C-alpha cells in the first residue's frame, strides 16, 4: 500500500507580527490583496474532512509562518508542523509569496515520496481512497489542455505562461500525445475531451486546464524539474511577493507530470472549483449534497456580505462534518 502524505499551506492574515513584517517589504508586492489573507474560519473542516474521508493519510505537513490556529492539537501524531525556516533556502525569508513556498515543498524533512498538495481553500467532502491520488506509484490527474487567458498584466496568466515556456522547451506536444494517446483522450474526461481535440492543430502546448483542487506529486518530479530549471526556480524562491513576470508555481510540476505522460487518468468529476463570487449558492449545495469528492472555495474581491456568507459556509460544513477531529483540542 502506498504511503501518501498531505501538505497544506496556511497563513493567519490577522497575526500582528506577520502583518508588521509584511508591511516592511510591501512596496515590492504586485499582489497584496486583503482577500489573499482574510479568514473564512473554516480550516477546522479541512482537518475534519481529512480524518473522516481520508483516514489512511500517513502524515499531514502543516506549513506556516509560525502562527497556529488556537484550536489545533499540536500533539496529534499525524501532524507535522513545518515552519518556513525549516525548509526554505537560506536568505529567502521572510517570504509572503506562496509560489516560492510551493516550488520548495520537496525540501520538507520527512515528506513521503508521494504527496498531495492542498491550498487552504480546498476541502475533501466525500470519501477518497489512495487510488484516487496514486496508482502503482503514479500520480492521478486529468491531461486536459486549455489556452492560457490573461485577465490583467499582473494576473496568474503570466505565471502560467512562464510554466508553459518551460514545458514547451522540454516536451514535444505531438510526440508526447502520440506516445500515450489514452492519457489525452479518455472517457473519464467526458466533454472536456473536446478541448484537446480543438487544440490539436497547435504545434506547441497552449496551456493546461488547472482544476484548482489538490494535486498529486512525486518528490522525484520536483527534483527533476529543479535540476533542469534551477534559474527560474531560484528566482521564484527569492521573490518575497508574487512576481508574475518571472514566477513559476506548483502547476509547473503538475504540467511536467502531465506532459511527460507520468499520470493515470482520473475523472474530471473528481473535484470542482467554485468561484464564490459567481457560484456561491451552487457551492453550498455541493457541500450539503457532497456532490464531489473535493472542492475549492475560491475567494474574490467582489464578494459582498462576507460575514454572512462565511457563516453560511460554516453552517453547511457543520451539516456534513459536525464532530471535532482529533486535530482539534
143, 232 contact by CB (below 8 A): no
% of the chain with per-residue pLDDT over 90: 83
Dihedral of the alpha carbons of 71, 271, 222, 144, in degrees to the nearest 10: -160
Q: Output the pLDDT for position 14.
A: 86
pLDDT, tens only, 17-73? 999 999 988 865 555 445 556 688 899 999 999 999 999 999 999 999 999 999 999
Query: How much is the pLDDT for 39?
Result: 80
Q: What would the mean pLDDT of 291-298 be, rounded to a whole number?
A: 94
Q: Given pLDDT bands bounded at 50, 70 and 90, which one contains residue 227? A: very high
Q: Which domains does the chain have, with CATH numbers?
A: 4-320 (3.90.550)
User: What pLDDT, in 10s, does the model give residues 130-179?
Assistant: 999 999 999 999 999 999 988 777 788 899 999 999 999 999 999 999 99
Q: How far apart are CA 235 and CA 230, in angstroms?
A: 8
Mean pLDDT of the 259-278 span? 94
- Spell 277-290 as b/e; 16+ CB within 10 A means b: eebbeebbebbeee
What distance in Å separates the CA atoms of residue 293 and residue 269, rounded to the nearest whole number? 8
pLDDT at 276: 86
Question: What percent of the chain is predicted at pLDDT more than 70?
Answer: 95
In what helix (H) or strand (E) does residue 61 lie, and over which residues does it extend?
strand 59-64
* Strands, sheet with 271-275, edge to edge from the N-terminal-most edge strand: 122-124, 294-298, 271-275
Question: Looking at per-residue confidence, does 152 or 275 come out higher?
Answer: 275
Entry pTM: 0.94
- Other Cβ atoms closer than 10 A to 166: 19
Mean pLDDT of the chain: 93
Contact 61, 7 (CB under 8 A): yes
> In this predicted structure, what is the pLDDT of residue 299?
85
Amino acid at each position: 500500500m502506498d504511503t501518501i502524505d498531505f501538505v497544506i499551506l496556511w497563513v493567519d492574515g490577522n497575526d500582528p507580527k506577520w502583518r508588521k513584517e509584511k508591511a516592511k517589504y510591501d512596496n515590492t508586492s504586485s499582489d497584496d490583496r486583503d482577500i489573499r489573507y482574510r479568514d473564512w474560519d473554516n480550516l477546522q473542516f479541512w482537518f475534519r474532512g481529512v480524518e473522516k474521508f481520508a483516514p489512511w493519510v500517513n502524515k499531514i505537513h502543516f506549513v506556516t509562518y509560525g502562527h497556529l490556529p488556537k484550536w489545533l492539537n499540536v500533539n496529534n501524531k499525524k501532524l507535522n508542523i513545518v515552519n518556513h525556516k525549516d525548509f526554505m533556502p537560506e536568505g529567502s525569508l521572510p517570504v509572503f509569496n506562496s509560489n516560492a513556498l510551493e516550488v520548495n515543498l520537496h525540501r520538507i524533512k520527512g515528506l513521503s515520496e508521494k504527496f498531495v498538495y492542498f491550498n487552504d481553500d480546498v476541502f475533501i467532502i466525500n470519501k477518497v481512497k489512495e487510488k484516487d491520488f496514486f496508482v502503482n506509484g503514479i500520480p492521478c490527474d486529468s491531461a486536459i489542455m486549455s489556452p492560457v487567458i490573461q485577465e490583467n498584466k499582473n494576473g496568474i496568466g503570466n505565471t502560467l505562461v512562464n510554466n508553459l515556456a518551460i514545458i514547451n522547451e522540454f516536451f514535444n506536444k505531438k510526440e508526447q500525445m502520440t506516445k500515450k494517446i489514452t492519457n489525452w483522450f479518455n472517457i473519464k474526461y467526458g466533454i472536456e475531451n473536446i478541448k484537446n481535440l480543438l487544440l490539436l492543430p497547435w504545434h506547441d502546448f497552449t496551456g493546461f486546464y488547472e482544476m484548482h483542487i489538490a494535486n498529486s506529486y512525486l518528490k522525484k518530479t520536483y527534483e527533476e524539474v529543479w535540476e533542469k530549471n534551477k534559474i527560474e526556480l531560484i528566482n521564484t524562491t527569492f521573490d518575497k511577493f508574487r512576481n508574475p513576470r518571472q514566477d513559476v508555481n506548483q502547476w509547473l510540476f503538475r504540467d511536467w507530470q502531465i506532459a511527460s505522460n507520468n499520470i493515470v487518468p482520473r475523472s474530471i468529476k473528481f473535484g470542482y472549483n467554485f468561484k464564490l463570487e459567481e457560484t456561491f449558492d451552487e457551492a453550498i449545495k455541493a457541500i450539503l449534497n457532497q456532490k464531489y469528492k473535493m472542492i475549492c472555495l475560491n475567494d474574490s474581491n467582489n464578494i459582498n456580505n462576507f460575514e454572512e456568507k462565511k457563516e453560511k459556509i460554516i453552517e453547511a460544513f457543520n451539516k456534513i462534518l459536525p464532530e471535532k477531529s482529533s486535530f482539534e483540542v
